[in-house]
Structure 1
Amino acid sequence: MTTWQGWHRFATTDPPAPPQPDAPPRSRDERLAYHSAFVTIRTPAISQLATQVRTLMILGRHQQTTARPSLIVTGPAAAGKTTALLNVGRACHLAHTRQNPTPPGSAHTAVPVAYVLVPPGATAKTLITEFARYLAIPVTTRMTQTQITDAVCHTYTHAGVHLVLIDEIHRLNPRTTTGAQTADLIKDLTERLPATFVYAGINLPDTPLFTGVRGAQLAGRATLIDCGPLPARHGTRHPFRDVITDIENALDLHHHRPGTLPRHAPYLHQRTAGRIGSLTRLIRQAAVTAICDGTERITKTALAAVKLDHLAEQHRRPTRRH
């Protein structure tokens, strides 16, 4: 998805759909493929991000003199940050193309969204080259960073990019020379491109991105969206259990009893530490196993048999008492 062709294919391909009551049953292979891809569960963070992106894009639409306000999606690993980023990007892409359809016979399609990954050990030049690669802007080894940046700004503006998504932003360290230059490049792009920028990364407030002069500039312009673990209870609501219910309702198993998984919410919260990524992986793996072994249902025993990511398994391990 870090090229326009890949992003366009992702944004315009219908996401997996849960089973419909009146539809004919799907085959075993179809159901295995469905649980592998699965639906996007709309978490509180996704809803908040969608609202904030829509608002900031309107606020920044006519802003010309300074960098537009931006958003930062942060949280621990396996918290659903990239999922939230991609979900909002797809919604923005589809909304823009619905409102601005390509004229018949036109060879120029709208490019409302750009999605860029910060490469490991990023320098300003390698990052701007990633921006160029997204829209297949020709880059030669002889081109300077300034020349590539000028080409990117010209092409992105001409293509009508309104939303720039930058993932893995925690890879930047402004305390180093190359990291500082890369952070300055991003600031330059926010001032030159008529677009709203959304960044995503792991535990960003605890990184050097929020320290020093550059960190103060970023913190002063960006709104923070926390994709932290969901609490088991928030006031009178049970947000984690509500997400489990949504996941269960999307399952395509022949003999699973509705309400089984929400009853195990305390166990699932302890098992995953409230991380959405770990939760969906746990239930999807159990669903695939249930199809393969013919039980067609998920029980607590089946959930306990699934080995999760190392982070979740560490949390699951009981603390020794001395």
Structure 2
Amino acid sequence: MTPLTRPSPGASGSGAPAATASSRPAMMRAFGRSRADSAAKQKKREGGSMVDLSVGSLKKPNWQTKEGWSDFVGEQLIEPEVMTRKALDALTEDERTTYCLRRLDFMANGRISLTAEVKAIRDELRLRMVANARKRGGKFGLIINGVPNAGKSTTVTRLAKEFEIQRRVRGNPRGQRSVIPVIYVSTPSDCTPKSLLVEFHHFLGRPTRPRMTAPELLNGLADVVERCGTELIIIDEIHNLNQDRQGASDATNYLKQLSEKCQATFVYVGANVEDTGLLDGGWAAQVATRFRIMDLDAHQLNNQRNRDRWCALLEDLEANAKLVSQKTGSIVDDAELLWEASHGRVGEVAGIIELAVIEAMESESERLNFSRLRAAMDDERRRRARRQLDEGPGE
């Protein structure tokens, strides 16, 4: 900080030192910084935190439009450095808030944890896309299945983003703006052939008319997909294609027809797919011969190998947080607590850690503390015990 000097009695003129044009901005910055530091210290003395992260939300790209998907692919979050404690404490309130928000953005959106399951999906997807690029029929596909909150959608969309970035970097014609390498749609909850096909047209920005038939929508879509050079089509929430409903069953047949008309590799993503009937009936033969079902299930702690995998995931999430005072690897001390609270699900444990990181930043401890989580878990155990007593042994 540039010191503010007291006027010298022997100086010429009014007794104040002559301020040059170059020194005046530095003096003003120092004065502003001094006032900001004083305000922050006063806030701390009053029991508040120097860091307030409730400053607005980060705009999320709408993956279900080509413009939103392109924004998602083009979003590049630079990995923040881990400051020393001394450097962190030297920041002004605004600088510290900015640093905290950069770390939160990176933790939530920067990269995914490359677990063994995610690596297997990435490698299998690449193999099938390479094969499909040269096949004229009978193309391969993937079904990503698992329990809710296992990280299925996050995994697939990040891998698709990685693929499209490679297309752009290599200068491949299919990475140009005139083409659409990836299409992402989400299956409507009350799915019919028309409602599902309209989702595709919506992604592509193509208008549809109410009186258009499903075959018209299908043929128009297939033509556009081929012209756009689309190589990867992701269909999320396929558990909404429950075969007990006629509309969903018909929509499944149209997806099959679309895959036969397009060169793209199809990836279906859903929760508990085996309960929908999709793997039975008329589609079963195609699934058995052309698709591989890959599961993203909850982690277990039933043997040392699984415990090691769980701890590796926690350490990766810990590293993503970039907390200044966090001792590397200390998160594994709470591995069992975090497993119990999240049921071993990646999406849930990532959310739990994210909340703890926000608390660590706002409290200025810069260290993960799961005491609130532990207290909440203890309360839940007591509630369960009371319910069991109230219900009695015979119920």
Asked whether the two chains share a fold, i.e. TM above 0.5, the reply is yes
Answer with 157-166 or 139-148: which moved more: 139-148
Q: Contact conserved, 1:137 with 1:151, CA < 8 A, in 2?
A: no
Q: 5+ residue gaps in structure 1? A: 308-312
Which residue of 2 is the match for residue 85 of structure 1? 156
Deviation, 1:205, is 1.8
Deviation, 1:65, is 2.9
2:291 is the alignment partner of 1:291: no
Which residue of 2 is the match for residue 54 of structure 1? 126
Which residue of 1 is the match for residue 267 of structure 2? 198
Q: Contact conserved, 1:233 with 1:240, CA < 8 A, in 2?
A: no
How does the TM-score come out when normalised to structure 1?
Answer: 0.88
CA distance 1:15–1:173, shift in 2 (3 Å): same
* Counterpart-to-counterpart distance in 2, 1:290 and 1:20: 14
Which residue of 1 is the match for residue 36 of structure 2? none
* Counterpart-to-counterpart distance in 2, 1:206 and 1:142: 33
Over alpha carbons, which structure has the higher Rg?
2
Which residue of 2 is the match for residue 45 of structure 1? 117
Deviation, 1:295, is 2.5
CA distance 1:317–1:99, shift in 2 (3 Å): farther
SS of equivalent to 1:146? helix
SS of equivalent to 1:120? coil
- Deviations 1:230-288 (CA, angstroms, capped at 9, x unpaired): 23365546100001111111223232222221122122112212110111000100110
* Counterpart-to-counterpart distance in 2, 1:234 and 1:43: 17
Deviation, 1:212, is 1.7
Q: Contact conserved, 1:93 with 1:113, CA < 8 A, in 2?
A: yes
* Counterpart-to-counterpart distance in 1, 2:167 and 2:126: 11
SS of equivalent to 1:263? helix
Q: How does 1:211-290 map to 2 (within 5 A)?
A: 211-232=280-301, 236=305, 238-290=308-360
CA distance 1:213–1:108, shift in 2 (3 Å): same
2:235 is the alignment partner of 1:173: no
Q: Contact conserved, 1:283 with 1:303, CA < 8 A, in 2?
A: no
- Residue number among 71, 75, 79 corresponding to 1:9 in the alignment: 71
* Counterpart-to-counterpart distance in 2, 1:166 and 1:188: 14
2:182 is the alignment partner of 1:113: yes
SS of equivalent to 1:164? strand
Deviation, 1:176, is 2.4
- Deviations 1:80-134 (CA, angstroms, capped at 9, x unpaired): 001111111101111122223569xx98533111101101101101111111111
- Residue number among 217, 231, 249 corresponding to 1:162 in the alignment: 231
Deviation, 1:148, is 1.5
Deviation, 1:28, is 2.1
Q: What is the identity, as a one-letter code, of the residue corresponding to 2:70? A: H
Q: Contact conserved, 1:32 with 1:288, CA < 8 A, in 2?
A: no
* Counterpart-to-counterpart distance in 2, 1:305 and 1:161: 50
Q: Contact conserved, 2:201 with 2:221, CA < 8 A, in 1?
A: yes
Q: 5+ residue gaps in structure 2? A: 1-62, 89-94
Q: Contact conserved, 1:165 with 1:199, CA < 8 A, in 2?
A: yes
- State the identity as a percent: 25
Answer with 157-166 or 214-223: which moved more: 214-223
Aligned pair count reads 312
List structure 1 runs of 4+ shifted beyond 4 angstroms: 233-237, 316-322
Deviation, 1:69, is 1.1
* Counterpart-to-counterpart distance in 1, 2:164 and 2:122: 12
Where relative contact order (Cα < 8 A, 6+ residues apart) is larger, the structure is: 1
- Residue number among 89, 97, 101 corresponding to 2:168 in the alignment: 97
How much is the aligned-residue C-alpha RMSD, in angstroms?
2.7
- Deviations 1:172-207 (CA, angstroms, capped at 9, x unpaired): 122322111100011001100101000110011222
Answer with 293-302 or 272-281: which moved more: 293-302
Q: What is the identity, as a one-letter code, of the residue corresponding to 1:191? A: E
SS of equivalent to 1:115? strand
Which residue of 1 is the match for residue 38 of structure 2? none
Q: Contact conserved, 1:3 with 1:135, CA < 8 A, in 2?
A: yes
CA distance 1:51–1:21, shift in 2 (3 Å): farther
Q: What is the identity, as a one-letter code, of the residue corresponding to 2:149? A: A
SS of equivalent to 1:264? helix
Deviation, 1:213, is 2.2
How does the TM-score come out when normalised to structure 2?
Answer: 0.72
Deviation, 1:290, is 1.7
